[in-house]
Amino acid sequence: MMTAGRLLAFLLLNLLFLPFGWGQQGKPVKTTITKVGGGFTIMRNGQPYFIKGAGGTSNMEQLKAYGGNSIRTWSPYQADEILNKAQQLGLTVTLGLDVKTERHGFDYNDPVAVAKQKEYLRTVILKYKDHPALLAWGIGNELNLHYSNPKVWDAVNAIANMIHELDPNHLVTTMLAGINQKEIDYVKSKCPALDLIAVQVYGGLASVPEQLRKTGWNKPYIVTEWGPTGHWECLQTPWGASIEETSHEKAAVYKSRYEASIGQDKNCLGSYVFLWGQKQERTPTWYGLFTEAGEENEVVDVMHYLWSGKWPENRAPQLDSFLLDNRQAKDFIYLESGKTYPMEVFVRDPDGDKLRIRWELLQESTDLKEGGDREERPQALTGFIKNSTDDKGTLTAPSKEGAYRLFVYANDGNNNVATANIPFYVRSTLNKTSGRAYHFSPVPVWSDEFNYSGLPDKSKWSYDIGSLYDGWGNNELQYYMEASRSNSLVQDGVLKITAKKENKGGKSYTSARLTSKNKGDFTYGRFEVRAKLPRGRGTWPAIWLLPTNRKYGDWPNSGEIDILEHVGHDQDVVHISTHTQAYNHGINTQKTNKKKVSGVSDRFHEYRVDWTPAYIKGFVDEQEIFHVDNENKSFKEWPFDQNFHWLINLAIGGNWGGKEGIDDTIFPATFEVDYVRVYNLLE
């Protein structure tokens, strides 16, 4: 990184040699898109222009010094100051237009409100359309996030048409949350006035070119937000805290994902990395490339390299691992209140700079928002960290039960920093029963390996038939068939449950649901399956357990254990849950967790639950992602002391599976199960 003096000298020299046109207010720089070499490129003032940008308006001098050339805003707030500063530095601006969202209460069925919004935006366009730093207009931000009214796209197109009438010199886009077929189809049919689209993705950045091709989008695009693995995509603790990557892990994924997508796709016109600054979103360090003190983390080094082709002279510290009680964050750490535990960080500096370590303890944030909305930062807790040396110390667990997060910062004295944090949960008294080490039989006591051909083994499986209780209580749209080879067949060593687009019993789809009721019923044990999930919007595969005799009454009183659920509109996100009278999705209190698992529809993965008298744990590919304890209160919290049986099914549509509609081009859709196994609980 540059020192302050060298940075200032660089910027002054840069300003001296800016083209004359930059100093002239009121003269727009013509920007267009042209087809070149099998792809597209931006032509700005007649010259090719690839966006090497960042989201955010702070630290613009560093962005320029490190090889960046553009910034992106989310609204026209302080646009005069931002555009003028960008012009002085030789940067361009994609200026955000603060179009209102349905999730914040705006009604696109209200023509008066829609017209009023458009007229407000007209004043913004007229004010800034001739600024020489302007590159493009961004209509709204993630208007497709939690929306239902497609009229928003009519409004977007009307705004785009207005911009082109008022400003023929600049590009117009809209920023989409993720990539899915529905929104791409809407944009193609309803928004012809857009010059390009802008997508915003995190963990899935590397697959953006392929995803866009699959949706049929073969036109230009930019990526206006990308960064670390998102808090909704990563591993979560049983108490719901997302596990953040270290700054070193982030640096690796920023580089690899950029090089796999933005760096090579000829239809991509550039990007804006997120966030060129700092903000509280789940944590104070998750998305910002800078700390609150203005320190630069290792991702800034990566952007310096990606933008300029060379690494900075002085590199940021690289944090290898961080331990609390000799455990990592992925070990799901529970601590006992009042007890003292060791903490240690392993960090190195590529330049041999002496590192200064600081620690911080926060309560887990409860001000959780979506779409980047502003969150309040938790206050730091003092007096719990003792005996800290450069890389070691002790933490005394707070007396108040609840979720916390321990942070570490390693500064090299040159404004560079490495960061990491560990979420943990404090229990006032650790549940001794929960802490018991249970064991299971080494071989299954009941299983189906599906190493035969034909219909499923009738000694182990029966069928739920039809579409009872208004689509099985979830408004599902399939009719479950009994012993139908076209819907449930064992072949090539796997069970294949196939959903088809065909009418039956007043429903538009057929499928199958297998049940082991009265043929495979168990209290406690390890329940394990290996499965490959169907792909496509509208599918809802599940492997789960229900009570055989409903000891405490109908659902949810007698409980439910979901070993695996997946909905096609949220590809690769798998869920494990339990439901009881006290904790169920009907009242939004269910015990649940999810995990992003790459390729669940491309290859087999292992899903399992360990059910004991004290707890139920859930695993994906041997990694624990779910944990619920027996609170030892009543059946309302813990009805799991009776026989349960298996269910395996592929539902179509319904309250959850059909939340974003059904893609009828995916049928037939097949759910494959390699084996189902039960291991006895050993006392």
Average pLDDT over residues 553-581: 96
Number of H helices, E strands in the chain: 11, 40
Task: Categorize the per-residue pLDDT at 326 as very low, low, confident or very high, splitting at 50, 70 and 90.
Answer: very high
Query: What span, in angstroms and rounded, lies between the C-alpha atoms of 241 and 593?
Result: 10
What is the DSSP-derived secondary structure letter of residue 475? I
pLDDT of residue 292 exceeding 80, the answer is yes
Mean pLDDT, residues 318-346 taken together: 94
Q: For residue range 364-409, list pLDDT tens digits in order.
A: 998 888 777 889 999 999 999 997 778 999 999 999 989 999 999 9
Round the average pLDDT of the chain to a whole number and report it. Answer: 93
Residue 316, pLDDT score: 98
Give one word for 659, left, alpha or beta, with left for phi > 0 and alpha for psi -120 to 50.
alpha
Phi and psi at residue 114, to the nearest 5°: -65, -45
Minimum mean pLDDT range among 351-360, 427-436, 486-495: 427-436
> What average pLDDT does range 287-315 have in this prediction?
97
What is the mean pLDDT of the segment spanning 82-102?
97
CA distances, 387 to each of 396, 425, 643 (Å): 11, 22, 52
**Per-residue confidence (pLDDT) for residue 429, from 0 to 100:** 59
Q: Does the pLDDT of residue 23 top 70, yes or no?
A: no
The H or E element containing residue 657 is helix 654-657
Residue 170, C-beta contacts closer than 8 angstroms, at least 6 positions apart: 28, 31, 129, 134, 135, 136, 137, 163
Catalytic amino acids? 560, 565
**pLDDT of 214 higher than 80:** yes
Calculate helix-pair angle for 247-260, 298-308, nearest 10 degrees. Answer: 20
The structure tokens listed for 409 are 């910062």
The answer to whether the peptide bond before residue 12 is cis (omega within 30 degrees of 0) is no
What's the fold here for domain 31-308?
TIM Barrel (3.20.20)
- Average pLDDT, integer, range 106-115: 96
The residues with which 51 forms a beta bridge, in sequence order, are 270
CA atoms 73, 79, 84, 87: torsion sign:
positive
Q: Look at residue 18 in the predicted model and tell me its pLDDT.
A: 41
CATH topology (fold) of 318-427: Immunoglobulin-like (2.60.40)
| CATH class for the region spanning 441-682 | mainly beta
Q: The pTM is what?
A: 0.69
pLDDT for the residue 523: 96
pLDDT level of residue 432 (50, 70, 90 thresholds): very low
Residue 541, preceding peptide bond in cis (omega within 30° of 0): no
pLDDT(452) > 50: yes
Residue ranges of domains in the chain: 31-308, 318-427, 441-682
Residue with more model confidence, 682 or 174: 174
The predicted-structure confidence for 599-649, as pLDDT tens digits, reads as follows 999 999 999 999 999 999 999 999 899 999 998 999 999 999 999 999 999
Whose tokens are 């560079």? That residue is 416
Q: Which of 200, 285, 194 is nearest to 246 (CA)?
A: 285
Rounded to a whole number of angstroms, the distance between the first and last alpha carbons of the chain is: 60
pLDDT bracket for residue 436 (50, 70, 90): low
Report the pLDDT averaged over residues 49-70.
97
Are 565 and 585 in contact, with CB atoms under 8 Å apart?
A: no
pLDDT, mean of residues 86-112: 96
Distance (Å) of CA 25 to CA 76, 128, 133: 18, 11, 9
Please, which pLDDT band fits residue 356 given cuts at 50, 70 and 90? very high
Mean pLDDT of 461-465: 97
Q: Is the pLDDT of residue 14 over 80?
A: no
What percentage of the chain reaches a pLDDT higher than 90? 85
pLDDT digit string (tens) for 474-498? 999 999 999 999 999 999 999 999 9
pLDDT tier at 9, thresholds 50, 70, 90: very low
Q: Is the model's pLDDT at 433 over the cut of 50?
A: no
Mean pLDDT, residues 155-161 taken together: 98
* pLDDT value, residue 683: 65
Q: Which of 421-425, 596-600, 622-626 has the highest mean pLDDT?
A: 421-425
The rounded distance, in Å, linking the Cα atoms of 210 and 388 is 48
Q: How many Cα atoms are found within 13 Å in the side-chain-facing hemisphere of 616?
A: 28
Q: Which pair of tokens denotes residue 45?
A: 């003032």
Contact 73, 328 (CB under 8 A): no
Paired with 336 in beta bridges are 427
Q: How far apart are CA 161 and CA 172, in angstroms?
A: 9
pLDDT at res. 10: 47
Asked whether the predicted pLDDT for residue 454 surpasses 90, the reply is yes
Strands (DSSP E) found in 556-643: 560-565, 573-579, 591-596, 605-611, 615-620, 623-629
Tokens of 663: 């893609």
Phi, psi of 562 (to 5 degrees): -100, 110
Taking each helix axis as running N to C, give the angle between helix 208-215 and helix 181-190, from 0 to 180 degrees, rounded to the nearest 10: 60
pLDDT 10s digits, 225-272: 999 999 988 888 878 899 999 999 999 999 999 999 999 999 999 999
